[in-house]
Amino acid sequence: MKCPFCGSPETQVVDTRLSEEGDSIRRRRKCADCDKRFTTFETAEVRPPQVVKTNGTRADYDTNKVRISFQRALHKRPVPTHLVDEAIAHIDRKILALGEREIDSRRIGEMVMTELAKLDKVAYIRFASVYRSFQDVDDFRDVIREVSKKQ
């Protein structure tokens, strides 16, 4: 690491500590040339994948878009906020754990449906009706049967 004061590449670590949260390391360094001390922080860089949409365009993965999907599906439904937050965090972890540079938007939609099915059957059907582009009552009937079988 270069010294921020004189630019020398010769620095040494004097002290290392783990942050309180445990997600970063704080290092105290000393420059071998100018003797000045400075602090650096080391954290893991995790980059979410690009989302490949159905039309072929790509966009950055955005947790807020997933949250909006949950909010719309769960509108006026009795589901505690902490359970929604846990479901969204589960999707985020799952996507990052894939370790892929790209993910199909359909795959994210399926993950959302899986989590909604656990939280609230009505919200699941709401989301499915938009996600799967229901055309008539038969489509709703089929999903309701599917949900009824899972209970």
Q: With respect to residue 98, please indicate whether it lies within any of the assigned structural domains.
A: yes
Q: Are 75 and 112 in the same domain? A: yes
Mind listing the pLDDT tens digit for each residue in 69-120?
A: 999 999 999 999 999 999 999 999 999 989 899 999 999 999 999 999 899 9
The model's pTM is 0.65
Shared-domain flag, residues 34 and 18: yes
Q: What is the pLDDT of residues 58-70, one digit of tens each?
A: 999 999 999 999 9
In a domain, 4, yes or no: no
Does residue 141 sit in the same domain as residue 71?
yes
Of 1-15, 27-41, 52-66, 125-139, which range is least confident? 125-139
Alpha helices, DSSP H only, in the chain? 63-73, 81-98, 105-119, 121-131, 137-150
Containing structural domain, residue 34 = 11-43
Amino acid 150: pLDDT: 67
